[in-house]
Structure 1
Amino acid sequence: MSLDRKHKAQKLTFFKPDLQSELKIPYVSQGVSAGFPSPALDFLETTIDLNKALTENLDMTFYIKVEGHSMTDAGINDKDILIVDRSIEPADTKIAICFIDGEFTVKRLKLEKDGLYLMPENKAYKPLKISEENNFMIWGIVTYVIKKI
């Protein structure tokens, strides 16, 4: 079964985190107020390694660059980087990287009585019901989105 234009999978580029990196990024562990300003706290700066901070299962985590617009209402936009953990069990409403009929896509999982649906988060795209005819696999679960604002 080939996917029509409204179901066309995004092009995803996969990367493995570089856990050997010694890149230390300045980090202020004291939270920044999103409401009223809080007093400045001098010299609380330390460093963070984002590869390690955003990765729970080192051997099963990948970074994936998104190309496409089917998940914009979930806050996933073209050129965002997804952090995907392959060790997390798929579940209803989770956002997953799926392999379907030879292509990868990112969609929200929706489990209904009549089967599994891949749900886009953009009204211009239609849900896709998974059938026995599909070559289908849930490849991993999205844990973080890294984006430029």
Structure 2
Amino acid sequence: MTSPNTPEAAATDADQFLHRASDNTVTILGRADEYAGSTPLPLAGGEVRAGFPSPAEDYLEGELDLTRHLVQHPNATYYVRAKGDSMEGYGIYDRDLLIVDRALDAHTDDILIAAVDGELTCKRLGIIDGCPALLSGNPAYPPIRLQGREVTTWGVVIYNVHALCRRVTR
């Protein structure tokens, strides 16, 4: 059992606060459909080094269905597009595609989609002075303290997809 004034107790309180609860905007694109036709893509064998180059291997390992690979709970998963710059410090940029799982309980340090006083936002769940708060990844945006506010968790962001090539505009 944890003392009520420890970080562990505060984290548990934040998790329970959001679980009980009935700047950036979020556009819901749709939910993952386990029955929709998939488009398996070629999966190259081996690994790609991010440091020094290594000799390429000239074979394919097989095919990879990204939905099967990324979505654990298809009936509870949906896609949203992030808007704004408040989460850039956490690697989420304007127009990024977020994969959100509603089947997961929110825990401290998770990135969530939540409605706060009726407005949707994407933020990281944290603790400030022992109370739950939603934190941005940009110092220009202050934390959103949750005590005394109406909060509904819409899911935990499990993956973020963003383009690395500037010519890609989706």
Identify the TM-score tier after normalising by the shorter chain. Answer: 0.7 to 0.9
Amino acid at match of 1:125: Y
Identity %: 34
Task: Name the counterpart of 1:76.
Answer: 92
Q: Contact 1:63 / 1:83 at 8 angstroms: preserved in 2?
A: yes
Q: 110-119 or 62-71, which moves further after superposition?
A: 110-119
Q: Contact 2:32 / 2:75 at 8 angstroms: preserved in 1?
A: no
Determine helix, strand or coil for the equivalent of 2:154: strand
Matches within 5 A, 1:5-16: 8-16=23-31
Task: Name the counterpart of 2:60.
Answer: 44
Q: Contact 2:24 / 2:82 at 8 angstroms: preserved in 1?
A: no
Q: 85-94 or 110-119, which moves further after superposition?
A: 110-119
Matches of 1:117 and 1:97 in 2, distance apart?
A: 13
Q: 26-35 or 51-60, which moves further after superposition?
A: 26-35
Matches of 2:92 and 2:134 in 1, distance apart?
A: 15
Q: 16-25 or 59-68, which moves further after superposition?
A: 16-25
Task: Name the counterpart of 1:3.
Answer: none
The runs of 5 or more residues in structure 2 that have no matched partner are: 1-22, 165-170
Matches of 1:11 and 1:142 in 2, distance apart?
A: 12
Q: Contact 1:13 / 1:66 at 8 angstroms: preserved in 2?
A: no
- Deviations, residues 113-134 of structure 1 (Å, cap 9, x unaligned): 54211101001111010122x2
Report the count of equivalent residues: 141
Deviation at 1:69, TM superposition (A): 1.0
When normalised by structure 1's length, the TM-score is 0.86
Q: Contact 2:24 / 2:85 at 8 angstroms: preserved in 1?
A: no
Larger proportion of helix: 2
Task: Name the counterpart of 1:129.
Answer: 145
- Deviations, residues 88-143 of structure 1 (Å, cap 9, x unaligned): 121111111111111111000013454211101001111010122x2211221111
Q: Is the counterpart of residue 142 in structure 1 residue 157 in structure 2?
A: yes
Q: Contact 1:12 / 1:105 at 8 angstroms: preserved in 2?
A: no
Q: 49-58 or 76-85, which moves further after superposition?
A: 49-58
Matches of 2:159 and 2:26 in 1, distance apart?
A: 18
Task: Name the counterpart of 2:7.
Answer: none
Amino acid at match of 2:32: P
Amino acid at match of 2:127: L
Give the 3 Å change call, closer, same or farther, for CA 58–11 of structure 1 in structure 2.
closer
Q: Contact 2:45 / 2:59 at 8 angstroms: preserved in 1?
A: no
Determine helix, strand or coil for the equivalent of 1:23: coil
Task: Name the counterpart of 2:9.
Answer: none
When normalised by structure 2's length, the TM-score is 0.76
C-alpha RMSD over aligned residues: 1.6
